[in-house]
Each structure stands twice: as structure tokens, then as C-alpha cells.
A and B are shown apart, each in its own frame.
Chain A
């Protein structure tokens, strides 16, 4: 089956940097995505890694190591609006399998 592990919650202050780790065990893996979801809303796409290395998109960066079955999302210069749930999702067998989500709380 598919299994993705990520921390349940993280709290940080405005301006800080937060790293959310994700380890996965999945068959047919071909990439890792990250999604943000605010309460009551739909998931919105943040980043995608198919190859090892770092992908940078503004304040958010994502990293993947296929040999370690590991990835992370880096949130820099945290803002209050970044308070949300963040999900890693494995692309496999032409569908997405989601981790349990990490709730990020940003404090002033």
C-alpha cells in the first residue's frame, strides 16, 4: 500500500523558516507534490519534484531525495496567511496519495 509520514503540527513566529518533512513508502512512485489547504477550502498546489534536488518557488521550496524516499517543504519568511494545513502527496500509478497533513500555525 501507500504510506506517507509527516509531522502533525508545527508552530512558528512570523518571519521564521519552517521545514516540513515527508517520508514515503509507495509503489510506482514518480514524484512528490505539496499542497496547502486552509480551513474549509480546497487544496492548492504549491510545488512538485520528480527529480532529486531543490525546487524553489518564491518563499516556498521543496526538496526530494528518491534514494531516501524523503522530501521536505521549506516555508521561508513566514506570514500569518501561511497558517494552514500542508500535505505531501505521492504521484503513483497515475493518482495521488496524500500524507496526513501538517498544521502550521504562525504566531505574531
Chain B
């Protein structure tokens, strides 16, 4: 089946630094990827939709200059948290949309636990 690999699984960074999270589709081409943020015991909140070769579409309230998304190839999307602050600490998950027998399904990466100190 479709597999999405997300790295790193955990990262600790200092306030003010930037962190890049990678999401790769291993055995399929992902024209569209999604980035979610999840706080403990809470739901997955969609941050942005990333389309290969074009600008990402951000959800309302998400700062595009803070959360930079790049989808330069059909197998790689990256999320960069710029000038990270402790309030950016969260679980970030990517997802790719996959067309399977005329139905769109979604496969998820394993998530990245970001801690900003």
C-alpha cells in the first residue's frame, strides 16, 4: 500500500531557530499533501494543503511566513517552522492523498514531535 515516510520523528530545538520536517511518499507520487498539527488529546487541525509545483494553500489563522511549505517534487513535501517558539511545540503530521479504485484515500506519516525550549 501507499506509504508516507516522515522525518524526524522527534526534534528539540532552541527558541528562535528553524526546524524542517520532511514528508516523502515512498511508492507513489503524491500531487497533494496535507500538513496537520495536533495538541495533546486534541483533534488534527489542518494547517495547509501542499500541491506539487505550486504555492501551498493555508487554512485560516495559519501564518504562512511562520510555517513554510515546499512541495518541489511529486515525492517530497517539507514543512519548515521558522523562528520557533515554545508555543509551536506540538505534534505535526503529514498526509498524502491517494486515488485507489476511484476513491480518494489518505495515508499519514508517523508524525514529528516538536519541542521548542
Contact = CB atoms under 8 A, between A and B. Distances in A.
Nearest to B40: A39
Contacts, number: 50
A42 B42 contact: no
A50 B106 CA distance: 14
Contacts of B34: 95-96
Interface in A30-85: 31, 33, 40-45, 48, 50, 85
Interface of A is mostly: strand
Contact of A100 (B42, B95, B106): B42
A95 B46 contact: yes
Q: Which bucket holds chain A's interface residue count?
A: 20 to 34
Interface of B: 6, 32, 34, 41-46, 49, 91, 93, 95, 97, 103-111, 113
14 contacts: A31-B103, A40-B113, A42-B108, A42-B109, A42-B111, A87-B43, A94-B32, A97-B46, A98-B43, A98-B44, A100-B43, A101-B42, A101-B43, A103-B41
- Most-contacted residue by chain A among B45, B105, B113 (CB, 10 A): B105
B49 A43 contact: no
Nearest to B4: A42
Nearest to A35: B108
B43 A96 contact: no
Contact of B44 (A40, A43, A45, A94): A43
Contacts of A40: 91, 111, 113
A75 to B, nearest CB: 19
Nearest to B32: A94
Contact of A41 (B43, B104, B110): B110
Given A42-B111, A43-B108, A96 B42 contact: no
